[in-house]
Amino acid sequence: MDFLKVMQERRSVNFFDPAKPLDEALLKKIIETAALAPSGFNFQPWQLIVVKSPEEKEKLKAVAGKQPKITEAPVTLILLADKDGWKAGHPMMEKAWQNMVEIGASKPEQRSWVEKGAAALYGGDEKSLMFAVKNAAFFGMSIMLAAKDAGVDSHPMDGFNHDAVRKTFGIPDNFMVPMLIALGYFKEGAKLDPPKWRKSYSEIVWKTC
């Protein structure tokens, strides 16, 4: 699909067709396409819990404002943002480092510089949280765009009890949950509101230097 068309047609859909499943291969394609999103140092501090079973969707719905789309959509994703994803020794940090060396972006003797740079940028509670959520949000938005390109509708949700979601799904302390994303197909015959207002160029650009 043309990129502009993807942007224009992506909508936060409130009504999903519960009788129309999301093909597993298509879901995998959407996630792998979204994984091409950028991240700091290419650390990719994101993971997903894919909620598909009726029982688990009911558990999620109970701690997410009882939003019907959680159980109506064939899949709801719990997006995880890893606050430890920048730390030396973390599996994804180590994988990113090895790749930097393999492609010639860094030399083995620059390891200390990379570790110190990551610690300076992302060390500490506030910076670690910003690192995790910012990069996971890149991935989350990419999921929704990749889904629309594949003909799949979506809805990002932040109306949930963060602590209750963590407890219900056994999410470790290093993960923040920036959003939930329902994926599926718009229910035929349901009302789709007109596109909402968006800022103009002049309203977005605060200053040109």
State residue 1's pLDDT score: 77
Q: Is 209 a domain residue?
A: no
Q: Is 119 a domain residue?
A: yes
Q: Is 85 a domain residue?
A: yes
Q: Is 122 a domain residue?
A: yes
Backbone angles phi, psi at 47, to 5 degrees: -145, 170
State residue 127's pLDDT score: 98
Q: Is 129 a domain residue?
A: yes
DSSP class of residue 38 equals -
Residues found in the chain: 209
Q: Is 100 a domain residue?
A: yes
Segment 140-160 shows an average pLDDT of 97
The sheet with strand 175-184 has its strands ordered as 46-51, 75-82, 175-184, 153-157
What pTM, to 2 d.p., does this model score? 0.96
Q: Is 40 a domain residue?
A: yes
Looking at the chain, the whole-number percentage of residues with pLDDT higher than 70 is 100
State residue 154's pLDDT score: 98
Q: Is 118 a domain residue?
A: yes
Residue entry with tokens 């030399």 = 107
CATH code of 116's domain = 3.40.109.10
State residue 2's pLDDT score: 93
State residue 6's pLDDT score: 96
How far is the C-alpha of 33 from the C-alpha of 122, rounded, in Å? 26
Helix (H) or strand (E) segment spanning residue 79: strand 75-82
Which range of residues forms the domain containing residue 64?
Answer: 3-204
**Is-contact 86 122, C-beta < 8 A?**
yes
Looking at the chain, the whole-number percentage of residues with pLDDT higher than 90 is 98
**pLDDT tens-digit series, residues 10-68:** 999 999 999 999 999 999 999 999 999 999 999 999 999 999 999 999 999 999 999 99
User: What is the number of domains present in the chain?
Assistant: 1
How far is the C-alpha of 150 from the C-alpha of 146, rounded, in Å? 6
